[in-house]
Structure 1
Amino acid sequence: MAKVSVDGDNLIVEIEGLDKLWTLKSRLVIPLGNVRGATSDPGITKDPKGIRAPGAHVPGVITAGTFHIDGERVFWDVHDATNAVVIELADERYTRLVIQVSDPRATVTLIEQAISAT
Structure 2
Amino acid sequence: MAHVSVSNGLLVVEIEGLDRLWAVKSRIEIPLGNVRGATLDPGILREPKGVKAGGTYFPGLITAGTFRSGGEWVFWDVKNPARAVVIELADERYSRLIVEVDDPHATVDLVERRKGAPPAGPVAAER
TM-score, normalised via structure 2 length:
0.90
Distance 1:73 1:22 in 2: 17
**Residue 15 of structure 2 aligns with which residue?**
15
CA–CA distance in 1 between the matches of 2:117 and 2:110?
A: 11
Question: Which runs of 5 or more residues in structure 1 are unaligned?
Answer: none
Matched-pair identity in %: 63
Letter in 2 for 1:20: R
- For 1:64 and 1:33, the matched residues in 2 are separated by 25
**C-alpha distance in 2 between matches for 1:106 and 1:45:** 20
Partner of 1:44: 44
Q: Deviations over 1:6-33 (max 9, x none)?
A: 0021000000001111111110000000
Partner Cα separation in structure 2 for residue 116 and residue 36 of structure 1? 7
Paired letter, 1:65: G
Q: Provide the rounded CA distance (Å) in 1 between the counterparts of 2:69 and 2:22.
A: 19
Q: Give the match for residue 90 of structure 1.
A: 90
Superposition map of 1:51-90 within 5 A: 51-90=51-90
Question: Normalising by structure 1, what TM-score?
Answer: 0.97
Deviation at 1:117, TM superposition (A): 4.6
Q: Structure 1, residues 81-118: CA drift from partner, whole Å, max 9, x if none?
A: 00000000000010000000000000000001112654
**Alignment length, in residue pairs?**
118
* Runs of 4+ residues deviating >3 angstroms: none
Deviations 1:22-45 (A, max 9, x none): 111110000000000000100000
CA distance in 2, matches of 1:117, 1:31: 9
Q: Indicate the SS of the match to 1:25.
A: coil
Q: CA RMSD in A?
A: 0.9
